[in-house]
A and B are shown apart, each in its own frame.
Chain A
Amino acid sequence: MRSKFFPFILILIFIIIFLFFYKGLSNYNIYTPNINVEKDIPLFSANLFESNVEVNSKEFFDPKKLYLLNIWSSWCVPCRDEHALLMDLSKNKNITLIGLNYKDRPDNAKNFLNELGNPYSQILVDETGTKAIEWGAFGVPETFLIYKNKVIKKYIGPLNQQLLVEIKSLIK
């Protein structure tokens, strides 16, 4: 009796496998970070770009203020593209822009800012890329919105006009 049902069970199993593969075809096979999870900001210390003073992340961020942390580098092409948007955003008084200069040479970074303007009120230096990892970033540029010592939103890749509108609405 068992052998009579066996083929049907087998076929059923294969149909299920087929459906799995079929569904799997539409999945992305690259790393897609979870961007909507609120996380505490990481604990780390970094040097300030201008003064070379070491600061601690817990003291650096004021829980009452809204921050936008932008990871950038002078050698990163998309960073150049989003820079104008950041300049625009820096005019807004309700948000403080913080730069995290990723694996850059100080003079290159200075030239970059002289050329395109400096939207950041403070810049942290990340010479080895380790600070970016503390933030859970895996490339440049990435942007984080921080409020009450929590990362409330995370943008991977360059910002665009649409995202800027979104950020502005979040500010209100």
Chain B
Amino acid sequence: MNYLKVIFFFLVLFNFNELKADNENLKNQITKNLRCLICQGQSVYDSDSEFANSLKVVVEEKLNDGFSEEQIYLFLKDKYGEWILYDPELNINTYILWLLPILLFLIGGAIIFKSFIFTKK
């Protein structure tokens, strides 16, 4: 039961981002996931600074050129580094970031089940 749950969570987790949408929606979605570098913690979508406005145009142009969402992220990461991406990718730097909460969740569950529910007097 527990295994099934875990598997389910992961399935959901990795399927979640596959939203199909037209270019306009895709553009909004991408710009929401980009950090406006000259702002204080705003996304490109939320900002109307010169930089953000240009970046919106760039994303639109790239989409019209047939770039995929992933390719646009890669392109911008190459230009500006990982700082621009709001969705940190899973790599050696971010294993802890992504997996520690889930690990804590499992540990917490184990403690609850072990010490409160399945102990017999």
Question: Which A residues fall within an 8 A CB radius of B?
Answer: 31, 33-34, 103, 128-130, 132-134, 136, 138-139
Pick the most buried of A31, A34, A103: most chain B CB atoms within 10 A of its CB: A31
The complex places the Cα of A28 from the Cα of B54 at a distance, in Å, of 25
A138-B51 in contact given A31-B83, A133-B79 (Cβ < 8 Å): yes
For window 61-99 of chain B, which residues contact chain A by CB distance below 8 Å?
Answer: 61, 79-81, 83
Is there contact, CB below 8 Å, between B80 and A128? no
**A138→B80 contact, CB < 8 A:** yes
Given A134-B79, A138-B37, 17 new contacts (CB under 8 A)? A31-B37, A31-B38, A31-B80, A33-B80, A33-B81, A103-B50, A129-B50, A129-B57, A130-B58, A130-B61, A133-B55, A133-B58, A136-B79, A136-B80, A138-B38, A139-B38, A139-B50
* Smallest CB-CB A-B distances: 6 pairs: A129-B54, A136-B79, A31-B37, A128-B57, A138-B37, A130-B58
Which among B37, B38, B54, B61 is the interface contact of A132 at CB below 8 angstroms?
B54
A139 touches B81 (CB 8 A): no
Q: Which of A33, A34, A134, A139 contacts B51 (CB 8 A)?
A: A139
- A129 and B53: CB pair below 8 A? yes
In the bound assembly, the distance between CA atoms of A132 and B55 in angstroms comes to 10
Contacts of B54 in A (CB 8 A): 103, 128-130, 132-133
Residue in chain A with minimal CB distance to B80: A136
B47 to chain A, nearest CB (A): 12
**Bound complex: CA of A149 vs CA of B102, how far in Å?**
46
Report the bound CA distance from A132 to B81 in whole Å: 16
CB distance from B61 to the nearest CB of A (A): 6
A80 to B121, CA, bound (A): 82
Interface contact A129-B51, CB-CB below 8 Å: yes
Q: How far is the CA of A129 from the CA of B79 in the complex (A)?
A: 15
Name the CB-closest residue of B to A42. B79
